Every structure is written in structure tokens, then in C-alpha cells.
Structure 1
């Protein structure tokens, strides 16, 4: 198995697992917090998709699915919103209400399709390309892709756990 095939398969697991965590939930269930500062399922799902969309668009030098396909507006966010949820305060997290599980899953499918398309273009040598020199050592494409994957799978697990706590 080539690295791009492995990455494509690993990234496909995000959407499959996310579907089980959010499918059929109401907007109130998506917004429910199991603790005063806990992240709700809707925010966790939105955030992980935003990070994947943002980071892969950056390394692919393409526009994000979020803005290109009108998801920012459909989520009730400003059309030029570049927020991924990173660094949001508890009040900002609470203010982000996801309209529906179906919208989250539609966005997930669009991000997955764009990710698979990009990952399918990579050669083994591409993974060694430096994509971020702000770090020491500089971040390669391979490291960035694995970092996004790890972060997304962590948040999918959190969303599934919260769903279990809610008894949904």
C-alpha cells in the first residue's frame, strides 16, 4: 500500500465515524453541553471539519469547501469566515449552533471528497515537502496530514462519547 492510499483510507474513517456520532441528532442535541464549559457534539463536528477543510485547502493551494460551496452561509456564519474553532472562548462555542445533523454530514461528505481528491494526487516525495516553516523543525506535508488526521479522530471520539452521555 502506497502512502497516499493509506492516507486516503485513514481520512475516510473520519466521515464514517462522524456519521455514527451525529446522524439523527436534533439541533438541541447537537448543542447540548454535558458540563458548563464542555464542547457540544455540533461544535466538535463543525470544528474538526473546519480544521480538515482549512488545512488541506492550504497545502493544496485551493479555496476551502466551506466558502466555495456556501457552507459558511448555511451554517449561519459570515461568508468570509476563516474561523476553524481554534481558540474560541466558551461563549463563542455556545453561540455556534449547528442547524442540523444533515448539514454537518453534507459538509463532511464535501470535505471528504475534496480531501480524497487531493490525497490521490500525492507522490511519496510530496510528503517530505515543507509546508510550514514557523515551527522548529519545519512541518512537512506528511506531518501536517497526520496531525490533522489525529486531531479529527480525537474530536470524532469526543463527539461519540458525548452522544453516549446524552443517551442519544
Structure 2
């Protein structure tokens, strides 16, 4: 297995956790925080897709799906198109509301673009520096693993929040 195939598998796992989490979810539970000031399922899914879209577009010198394919317009959020949710206040988290099909549609579009990017990656490409503002500089391989790790954490959080809300009734 090539490294790019393993990375593609990792991104596929993110997609599957999100699909499972959103499947049949009560629409009211998407925007309901489990406690005051906490993240909602909608925000967690939106954020993980935004981070993946943003970071991979930057790493591959490509346009973000969010803007290029009109997802920002479809969501209609009162946010800068470059916003990925990093550092959002509880009020900003609460403002990210969307139905499951829209959230999943955006993630699917990001996943398709991710798969496209990874299809051309060789093992040697993974050593290319994509961010020299860190010491040591961040390579493509490190950035991709970092995004998978972050996305899996948020996908797991979304699944956990769904379970908490379902248990609370």
C-alpha cells in the first residue's frame, strides 16, 4: 500500500463516521448543544469539512470547494468565506445551522476533492514543505496526517454529542 492510499483510507474513515452520525439524526439535534456554550453536531461537521477543505486547498495550491463550488452561498452563513470556525465563540457556533443533507453534501464534495488530490501524490511528494512558518517546517505528509487526526476527533465528538442528545430526549 502506498502512503497516499493509507491517507485516502484515513479521510474515508472521517467520511464514514460523519455519514453514520448524520444518518437519521433528529433535525432539531443538529443545532442543539449538549450544554450551554458547547459545540453542536452541525458546527462540528461543518468545521471539520471546512478545515479539510481549507488545509488541503492550501497544501495543493487549489481553490477551496467552499467558495469555488458555491457551498458558502448554499449555507448562507454570516461568516467570512475564509472562516473555518477556528476560535469561534459560543454565539458563532450557535449561528452555524444547516440540515444534515447540506452538511453531508459539503463533506462529500470536500472528500471528492481530497480523493482527487491524493490520487496524484507520490511518497516523495509527502516530504514537500507546505508551511515554513513552523519549526520544523510542515511537510505535506505531516499536514495530511494532522488534518485526519483533527477531523477524526471532531467526527467522534459529533457522534458523542448526538448520543448525548438522544439519551437526554
The TM-score normalised by the length of structure 1 is: 0.95
Paired residue secondary structure (2:130): strand
Give the deviation of 1:23 after TM superposition: 2.2
Give the deviation of 1:79 after TM superposition: 8.7
Q: Determine if contact 1:131/1:139 at 8 Å carries over to the other structure.
A: yes
Q: Which residue of 2 aligns with 1:19?
A: 19
Give the deviation of 1:27 after TM superposition: 3.8
Q: Determine if contact 1:72/1:78 at 8 Å carries over to the other structure.
A: no
1:89 aligns with 2:69: no
Give the deviation of 1:22 after TM superposition: 1.4
Written as runs of structure 1 = structure 2, the 5 A alignment for 1:46-85 is 46-77=46-77, 81-85=81-85
Q: Which residue of 2 aligns with 1:143?
A: 142
- In 1, Cα distance between the equivalents of 2:166 and 2:29? 10
- In 1, Cα distance between the equivalents of 2:79 and 2:29? 25
> Which has the larger displacement, 9-18 or 25-34?
25-34
The TM-score normalised by the length of structure 2 is: 0.94
Q: Kindly tell me: are residues 154 and 86 of structure 1, through their superposed partners in 2, closer, same or farther at Cα, counting changes over 3 Å?
A: same
Deviations 1:101-134 (A, max 9, x none): 0011111111111000101110111101111011
Q: Determine if contact 1:44/1:155 at 8 Å carries over to the other structure.
A: yes
Q: Which residue of 2 aligns with 1:126?
A: 125
For this pair of structures, how many residues does the alignment match? 167
Q: Which residue of 2 aligns with 1:39?
A: 39
- In 1, Cα distance between the equivalents of 2:137 and 2:16? 32
Q: Which residue of 1 aligns with 2:114?
A: 115
- In 1, Cα distance between the equivalents of 2:165 and 2:75? 23
Give the deviation of 1:69 after TM superposition: 1.0
Q: Which residue of 2 aligns with 1:158?
A: 157
Gaps of 5+ in 2: none
- In 2, Cα distance between the equivalents of 1:25 and 1:70? 25
